[in-house]
Structure 1
């Protein structure tokens, strides 16, 4: 915990500093949501196909989902989502002519969530 998933359009592969973003995001989650640094886990999923409205060309999407153990206030979750968007502005630099659509969601993990580390 937290479990972080970043879905992004394939055309951002060269324009998205994913390692830098993950490191900055982990530090932000520790600061805002009181997570432990070694507990932060981020995985990136590249999407080959992205359509925005009626257009399949000229658009790129990044969506970040942060799943945390329950107990954070809505204010904390909102603050974290806004910080994620600010980090995306810093670490995603789309090519000229490419419209970026960025979003973030912070939610509680289901009570059934369990994990183990070896």
Structure 2
């Protein structure tokens, strides 16, 4: 009997959710009244003690032409072969500081490999393009 009374007591004490929406809108929140405020002068007119900066040429005068620097020797190479995407390309390049030479390879969609051999002897880059099957 005690258990039954406890269960009935808990059931009666449980909150009842019999919510129904209101039949008319609430007047708790009113539509804001439209009002226009006149501008307020927050800043005073500048005083007569105004400082004016004179324009300056901030670019230094060139006294001598820029000096060219000698090239530095270097050498590098890298390559990528990705079987999943069928990408394959590489690049090899070296320089003694005066001349530059190298080669890069790209696997094309048609299965050929484009090979570009290049060199620069100070007169601009020159390239020889060939294709391998």
- Give the alignment's TM-score, normalised by structure 1: 0.24
Q: Which protein is richer in helix relative to its size?
A: 1
- Give the alignment's TM-score, normalised by structure 2: 0.22
Between 1 and 2, higher relative CO (CA 8 Å, sep ≥ 6) is seen in 1
